[in-house]
Amino acid sequence: MVAAVILALVPGNAIAEPAGIKWSPCKPDSVVQCGYLTVPLDWSKPDGVKTQIYVARVPAKDQAHKLGSLTFNPGGPGGAGASIFAEGLADQVFPDYRERYDLVSFDPRGTGLSTALACGPVLRPGVPMFPKSKAEYAAMVASSRKTGEDCLKQHGDLVRNLDTRTAARDLDAIRAALGEAELNYIGLSYGSYLGTTYAQLFPRHIGRMVLDGIVDHAQGATRFTLNEAKSMEDTFDRFAAWCSTDAQCALHGQDVGAVWDKLVAKADKTPLQVPDHPPVTGDTMRMTLPALLPRTDFIGNPWPSLAEGIAKAVKGDGTLFAQVSYLADYETAYAAVSCMDFPGELKGYADAKARIALAEKIAPRVGAAVEGWAMTAACSGWPIEPSNPWQPTPVKDAPPILITSTTHDPSTPVSNARGLARQVRGSHLLLADDAIGHTAYFNSPCARGAIAEYLLDGKLPPKRSTCG
């Protein structure tokens, strides 16, 4: 029923065949090819204003026996996948698929080298992140509204056409421009929601699809924040336990939780000064946790850097926290997409206060210092009504889709994967049992093997299964 409603809200469901992509080397002597695809700015007006999508392709080494194209979205919202490939990282991220697939990715509209959106930080330095009064709440809302109004002044209708349904239509245009009858796809984190949306809109255009590190659009803003807080607290405890057993941790032999609590409390009163950055407050430090606690072991474990950053900050050097905090993040598209698809649904200061208190009750150390709350704060005063607010994403009439997750994912809790599996008819759910970190692909060799077996040989794991 919801799928029918969504399709009805998007005029002209059958997209026009797009022009092709003119490929050229992304860099001199690079095997990676880059190009632009021109698509309607507003898919309901196919003959209207156009925008450009930056696309990158890494040709399969074995062109004679290739399986087609495998399209990748790294997450976000706003992850610029084509720019990642253009830097030559496809071999590192997808070594198993270089022989048999053309690897393809794109910078979603508003990001990277696509028609870009740049109108200031998502969360402005000095603005309350966790308001403790009506005045602080009003300041947070005003900051959000200012960012959105600046975006509208600078970019107009681009800001109104950034939601995930629009990105899914861009993705189908890329599929058509590649000359592919079906889309083979792997989407991580937010990319899982983009893939789910694509499957809902274009179920008969799917070949083999993997959704990993699941964002469940059915959960709503409050549960989104609270579930993540609970999982992030668990991961902080596991980080502290690792420090107690591994001498490579810069905090080895110390009570990591106590060190952290003392550090952020001190920064609340006396922010650390870092050249060329806003002062590092306690909130600046708290909002690095969504970036530095989630492990991605296949491409790099951030825990040693987090431990070293804490140790240096105790001595007065807050550089790490200044560089990676969600506060003062200039990726405006992150907020713009979030506000269209993941609005905070705040009803006022009392609601915000209650939600923060619930997070602190569930997760005494982490509290609401999670990505869900970052989206809520960034969207608290957004001047554009959400075009695709929280709702289930049922999928039917698609071939079997593989849904994967670790059982200890701080960013996208395993409950999300279970929830999505109930919405996607015929899906197969694979959980990487006892794996710690964000996405099964990046943290479980067993899951990577199962994903490869599916994408290369078409063999799916059992419908509900785990692997060690």
- Structural domain total, the chain: 2
Burial 389-424 (b: 16+ CB within 10 A, else e): bbebbbbeebebbbbbbbbbbbbbbbbbbbbbbebb
Answer yes or no: is pLDDT of 10 > 90: no
In a domain, 170, yes or no: yes
Q: How many other CB atoms are there within 10 angstroms of residue 241's CB atom? A: 11
Answer yes or no: is pLDDT of 7 > 60: no
Last residue of a domain, one of 378, 409, 435: 378
Amino acid of residue 234: D
Q: Do 401 and 292 reside in the same domain of the chain?
A: no
Q: Do 228 and 290 reside in the same domain of the chain?
A: yes
Q: Do 90 and 226 reside in the same domain of the chain?
A: no
What contacts 276, CB < 8 A, 6 or more positions away?
none
Answer yes or no: is pLDDT of 4 > 80: no
d(CA 47, CA 80): 26
Q: Do 362 and 462 reside in the same domain of the chain?
A: no
Answer yes or no: is pLDDT of 334 > 60: yes
In a domain, 125, yes or no: no
Task: Judge residue 433's burial from the number of C-beta atoms within 10 Å of its C-beta, 0-12 exposed, 13-18 middle, 19 or more buried.
Answer: middle
Tell me the Cα Rg of the chain. Answer: 22
DSSP summary character for residue 10: S
Q: Do 197 and 214 reside in the same domain of the chain?
A: yes
In a domain, 385, yes or no: no
Supply the DSSP string of 269-337, one letter for each residue. Answer: HSPBP-TTS--B-HHHHHTTHHHHSS-BTTTB--HHHHHHHHHHHHTT--HHHHHH-STT---HHHHHH
Cα dist. 197→164, 340, 379, 420, 424 in Å?
7, 14, 21, 12, 11
Answer yes or no: is pLDDT of 330 > 80: no
Answer yes or no: is pLDDT of 23 > 70: yes
Burial 50-82 (b: 16+ CB within 10 A, else e): ebbbbbbbbbbeeeeebbbbbbbbbbbbbbbbb
Query: Taking the mean position of all CA atoms in its chain, how far away is CA 366?
Result: 20
- What's the rounded mean pLDDT across residues 172-199? 98
Q: pLDDT tens, 226-269?
A: 999 999 999 999 999 999 999 999 999 999 999 999 999 999 99
In a domain, 248, yes or no: yes
Q: Do 79 and 186 reside in the same domain of the chain?
A: yes
Does 77 sit behind a cis peptide bond, omega within 30 degrees of 0 on the bond before it? yes
Tell me the torsion sign for CA atoms 17, 176, 14, 220. Answer: negative
d(CA 359, CA 353): 10
DSSP summary character for residue 182: S
- What's the rounded mean pLDDT across residues 330-351? 92
d(CA 342, CA 337): 8
Q: Do 70 and 148 reside in the same domain of the chain?
A: no
Helix 371-378 to helix 220-245 angle (10° resolution) is 140
- What's the rounded mean pLDDT across residues 443-461? 98
- What's the rounded mean pLDDT across residues 97-125? 91
Q: Which of 297, 287, 296 is nearest to 323 (CA)?
A: 287
What contacts 399, CB < 8 A, 6 or more positions away?
206, 207, 208, 209, 426
Answer yes or no: is pLDDT of 9 > 60: no
d(CA 165, CA 159): 14
d(CA 72, CA 108): 11
3-class SS of residue 140:
helix
Tell me the percentage of the chain whose pLDDT exceeds 90. 90
Q: Do 336 and 461 reside in the same domain of the chain?
A: no
Q: pLDDT tens, 127-179?
A: 999 999 999 999 999 999 999 999 999 999 999 999 999 999 999 999 999 99
Q: Which residue has the tokens 């083999």?
A: 208
Q: Do 213 and 347 reside in the same domain of the chain?
A: no
d(CA 387, CA 188): 23
Answer yes or no: is pLDDT of 394 > 90: yes
Q: pLDDT tens, 50-68?
A: 999 999 999 999 999 999 9
pLDDT class of 119 with cuts at 50, 70, 90: confident
pLDDT of residue 8: 27
Q: Which of 192, 195, 194 is nearest to 206 (CA)?
A: 195
Q: Where is pLDDT greater, at 323 or 5? A: 323
Answer yes or no: is pLDDT of 364 > 50: yes
CATH number assigned to the domain comprising residue 89 = 3.40.50.1820
pLDDT class of 329 with cuts at 50, 70, 90: low
Last residue of a domain, one of 346, 378, 410: 378
In a domain, 179, yes or no: yes
Answer yes or no: is pLDDT of 15 > 60: no
3-class SS of residue 339:
helix
437: domain range?
2-117+162-218+397-467
d(CA 359, CA 229): 6
pLDDT of residue 182: 98
Tell me the torsion sign for CA atoms 317, 318, 322, 323. Answer: positive
Q: Do 177 and 288 reside in the same domain of the chain?
A: no
Q: Which of 232, 356, 362, 338 is nearest to 295 (CA)?
A: 232
Across all residues in the chain, what is the average pLDDT? Answer: 93
